[in-house]
C-alpha cells in the first residue's frame, strides 16, 4: 500500500483543511490535515496499527485512488489509460484544412509568409474533397465508430466554402446512413462567418465555431490585420452578434508578453455584449515562435515566450498551435495546452471572474496527437498527426490515396512512438498533461520526444480549482 504518484494537495485557509486531488482518477476531496497526513504515513506503516477511524479514512482514500497497491500499479494504470485513449474507436475525428490561404496577415502565423502567400497557398479542390469523403467513409466502416467529428481549419477555412459545404453535406449523409452521430466545428478568424454560412451548416450537425480575438480592439487590429492592413475587430464582433443565437461560439486568443495585458479590456468588452451569455468558452493561449537559436535563453526584454525543456531552468510551456477542435468540443484535447505560467493563470482567472466558461488549467490532455483515429488532412490529401504539424510536409504520416513513401513511413514511426511524458519522471500531472504540446516541443526544442512543460501554470490552476471547490462547498453549506 502506498500513496499514488498522481496525488496533488493544496492546503486551504480554513483551519487544517487540505484539498486532495488524484489526477488519474480525477477524485477531489477536502479533508482535514490529519487525514491528508495519513498519506504520508501509509507507506511506512503498511496495513497494521491503524485505529478504526483511520482505517475508514484509508478505505475512502483507497476507493478514490489516493492509495494504490504499488508504484507499478500506478504506472500500469496510466499506461493503459494512454493506450485506451490512443486506440479508442468510438469516434473518428478529422480536421480538414480546406485551404492554407488566409485573408489575414497575422505576424505570428505558422502557415507561411505574408507576401504572395495568399495567392499561392494550397486550396483543396472539390475533386480532392470527394476523395477525402470517400476515404472518411471507409474509415468509418473500418472503425465501426459511433460518432464522427469534422473540424474545418486552415489557413482560413471559410475561404473555401464550396469544399466546406460539400464535405459537410456528404459526410452528414454518410453518417446518417451508418447510424453515426456527427458534429462539425469550425476554427475561423470570423471575418466571413455570416448567418448564411451558419444556416447552411446547422442542418449538417454544426456544433460550434471558434473565433480568435487577439486582445482588445486596438491590439487585435494590430495583431490580426487584413492583408491590406485594415483592422478586423469590429467586423468580427458584428458577425458574432448575428450568429451567437444560432450556434455555440467560443472565443480564443493568442497572446505574447506584449499583448497579454490587453486581454482584461477585451473580456470587459465581451461582458458588455448582448451575446456574452451565449459564449460557450473563452480561453487564451500563448503564441509559440520558433527560436532563432534553439534553447537559447530569453533575450532581456523579449516579448516572445520561450518554452523550456523539463529540468532546464524554468520548466515548461505547452500551447496548442492550432486549437483545432478546441473550445467548442467537449472532447478536444487541444485545450490541453492553454498555459503560460503567470500570464496564463492571470488570464484564466480574469476570464472566470467575469463569469465566462473557460478551461481550469488542470485537465489539459492527452490531446489529439495521442489518438490514432484523429487525422488532419491538408488541401492535397496528405495526412498529419495533428493540425500543428500540417504546415510541414516532412511531418506527413500518410496520404488519403494510400501511397507509401519512406519519409511518411518514417514520420509515422516517430509519431507512433510519441511518449514524451516518459521523460517527466514521476510528475503528478502526467495523466492530465501527457508531456504537453508536441508541436511546441518540436518548434522550440527540435524534437517531439521531449516534454514541454508549464508545470507552474498547472499548479496555479490546481490552487485556483482547490479554492473554488472550497468556496462552492461553503456556499452550499450556507444555503
Residues that bind ligand SF4 (CB under 6 A): 310, 316, 320-322, 334, 336-337, 367-369, 386, 388, 421, 424, 427, 429-430, 433, 435-439, 451, 453, 455, 458
Report how far apart, in Å, the C-alpha atoms of 315 and of each of 421, 430, 459 are: 14, 14, 12
* Length of the chain counted residue by residue: 479
Distance of closest approach, residue 181 Cβ to ligand SF4, in angstroms: 22
Task: Give whichever of 57 and 365 is closer to ligand SF4, judged by the CB atom.
Answer: 365
Identify which of 208, 206, 171 has the alpha carbon closest to the alpha carbon of residue 190. Answer: 208
Provide, rounded to whole angstroms, the least separation between the CB of residue 334 and ligand SF4: 4
CB 315 within 8 A of CB 456: yes
**In terms of CB distance, is 58 or 305 closer to ligand SF4?**
305
What residues have CB less than 8 Å from 3, skipping those under 6 apart? Answer: 39, 40, 42, 43, 66, 67, 68
**Nearer to ligand SF4 by C-beta: 36 or 445?**
445
Q: Please, which residue, 82 or 104, has the CB nearer to ligand SF4?
A: 82
Of 219 and 343, nearer to ligand SF4 (C-beta) is 343
CA-based angle 345:350:354, to the nearest 5?
145
- The residues facing 253 across adjacent strands are 284
**Least Cβ distance, residue 3 to ligand SF4 (angstroms):** 17
Minimum CB distance to ligand SF4, residue 106 (Å): 16
Pick between residue 270 and residue 439 the one whose CB is nearest to ligand SF4. 439
Output 21 or 270, the one with its CB closest to ligand SF4. Answer: 21
With respect to ligand SF4, which residue has the nearer C-beta, 20 or 391? 391
Q: What number of other Cβ atoms are within 10 A of residue 69's Cβ?
A: 12
Residue 117 CB, shortest distance to ligand SF4, in Å, is 21
Residue 337 Cβ vs ligand SF4, minimum distance, rounded to whole Å: 4
**What cell does 297 get?**
535563453
Query: Other CB atoms closer than 10 Å to residue 246's CB: what's the count?
Result: 16
H-helix or E-strand spanning residue 47: none
> Closest distance between ligand SF4 and the C-beta of residue 57, in Å?
28
* Sheet bearing 279-286, strands edge to edge: 279-286, 248-255, 206-212, 181-188, 147-153, 91-97, 374-377, 382-384, 398-399
> CB 376 → ligand SF4: shortest distance, Å?
9
Q: Hey, what's the cell of 449?
A: 520526444
What nine digits make up the cell of 59?
A: 478505505
| Long-range contacts at 418-426 (CB < 8 A, ≥ 24 apart) | 418/369, 418/370, 418/385, 418/448, 418/449, 419/82, 420/448, 420/449, 420/450, 420/451, 420/452, 421/82, 421/451, 423/310, 423/449, 423/450, 423/451, 424/310, 424/451, 424/453, 425/310, 426/5, 426/71
Sign for the CA dihedral angle at 29, 33, 38, 43 comes to positive
Nearest to 408 by CA among 430, 429, 380, 434: 380
Tell me if 24 sits within 8 A of 67, measured CB to CB: no
Distance (Å, rounded) from C-alpha 176 to C-alpha 6? 42
Q: Which is nearer to ligand SF4, 267 or 316 (CB)?
A: 316
The C-alpha torsion from 425 through 426 and 428 to 430, rounded to 10°, is 50
Query: Rounded to the nearest whole angstrom, what is the least distance from the CB of residue 421 to ligand SF4 in the complex?
Result: 5
Distance of closest approach, residue 245 Cβ to ligand SF4, in angstroms:
29
Report the residue number, 170 or 455, with the smaller CB distance to ligand SF4.
455
* Residue among 154 and 435 whose Cβ is closer to ligand SF4: 435
Q: Is the peptide bond before 450 cis (omega within 30 degrees of 0)?
A: no
How far apart are CB 435 and ligand SF4 at their closest, in Å? 5
Query: Judged by CB, which is closer to ligand SF4: 215, or 435?
Result: 435
Tell the smallest beta-carbon distance from residue 390 to ligand SF4 (Å). Answer: 10
For 27, the grid coordinates are 477524485
Round to whole Å and give the CA distance between 394 and 390: 9
Amino acid at each position: 500500500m502506498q500513496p499514488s504518484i498522481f496525488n496533488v494537495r493544496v492546503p486551504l485557509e480554513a483551519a487544517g483543511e487540505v484539498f486532495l486531488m488524484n489526477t488519474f482518477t480525477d477524485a477531489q476531496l477536502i479533508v482535514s490535515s490529519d487525514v491528508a497526513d495519513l498519506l504520508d504515513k501509509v507507506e511506512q506503516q503498511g496495513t497494521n496499527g491503524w485505529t478504526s477511524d483511520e482505517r475508514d479514512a484509508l478505505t475512502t482514500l483507497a476507493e478514490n485512488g489516493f492509495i494504490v497497491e504499488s508504484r507499478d500499479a500506478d504506472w500500469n494504470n496510466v499506461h493503459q489509460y494512454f493506450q485506451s485513449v490512443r486506440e479508442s474507436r468510438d469516434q473518428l475525428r478529422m480536421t480538414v484544412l480546406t485551404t492554407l490561404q488566409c485573408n489575414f496577415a497575422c505576424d505570428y502565423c505558422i502557415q507561411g509568409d505574408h507576401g504572395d502567400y495568399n495567392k499561392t497557398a494550397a486550396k483543396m479542390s472539390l475533386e480532392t474533397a470527394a476523395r477525402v469523403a470517400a476515404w472518411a467513409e471507409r474509415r468509418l466502416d473500418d472503425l465501426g465508430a459511433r460518432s464522427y467529428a469534422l473540424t474545418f481549419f486552415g489557413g482560413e477555412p471559410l475561404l473555401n466554402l464550396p469544399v466546406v459545404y460539400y464535405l459537410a453535406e456528404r459526410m452528414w449523409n454518410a453518417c446518417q446512413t451508418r447510424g453515426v452521430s456527427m458534429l462539425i466545428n469550425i476554427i475561423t478568424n470570423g471575418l466571413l462567418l455570416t448567418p448564411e454560412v451558419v444556416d447552411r451548416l446547422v442542418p449538417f450537425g454544426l456544433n460550434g465555431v471558434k473565433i480568435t480575438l487577439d486582445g482588445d480592439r486596438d491590439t487585435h487590429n494590430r495583431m490580426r490585420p487584413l492583408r491590406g492592413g485594415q483592422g478586423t475587430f469590429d467586423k468580427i464582433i458584428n458577425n458574432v452578434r448575428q450568429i451567437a443565437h444560432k450556434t455555440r461560439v467560443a472565443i480564443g486568443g493568442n497572446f505574447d508578453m506584449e499583448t497579454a495585458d490587453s486581454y482584461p479590456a477585451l473580456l470587459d468588452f465581451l461582458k458588455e455584449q448582448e451575446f456574452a451569455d451565449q459564449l460557450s468558452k473563452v480561453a487564451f493561449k500563448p503564441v509559440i515562435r520558433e527560436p532563432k537559436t534553439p534553447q537559447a535563453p530569453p533575450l532581456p526584454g523579449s516579448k516572445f515566450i520561450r518554452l523550456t525543456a523539463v529540468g532546464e531552468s524554468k520548466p515548461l510551456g505547452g500551447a496548442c498551435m492550432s486549437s483545432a477542435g478546441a473550445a467548442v468540443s467537449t472532447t478536444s484535447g487541444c485545450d490541453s495546452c492553454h498555459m503560460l505560467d503567470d500570464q496564463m493563470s492571470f488570464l484564466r482567472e480574469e476570464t472566470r471572474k467575469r463569469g465566462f466558461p473557460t478551461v481550469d488549467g488542470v485537465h489539459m490532455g492527452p490531446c489529439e496527437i495521442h489518438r490514432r483515429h484523429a487525422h488532419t488532412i491538408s488541401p492535397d490529401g496528405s495526412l498529419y498527426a495533428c493540425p500543428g504539424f500540417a504546415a510541414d510536409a516532412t511531418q506527413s504520416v500518410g496520404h488519403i490515396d494510400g501511397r507509401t513513401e519512406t519519409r511518411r513511413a518514417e514520420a509515422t514511426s516517430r509519431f507512433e512512438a510519441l511518449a514524451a511524458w516518459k521523460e517527466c519522471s514521476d510528475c503528478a500531472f502526467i495523466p492530465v498533461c501527457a508531456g504537453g504540446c508536441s508541436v511546441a516541443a518540436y518548434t522550440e526544442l527540435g524534437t517531439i520526444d521531449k516534454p514541454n512543460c508549464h508545470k507552474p501554470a498547472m499548479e496555479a490552476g490546481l490552487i485556483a480549482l482547490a479554492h473554488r471547490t472550497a468556496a462552492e462547498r461553503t456556499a452550499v453549506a450556507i444555503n
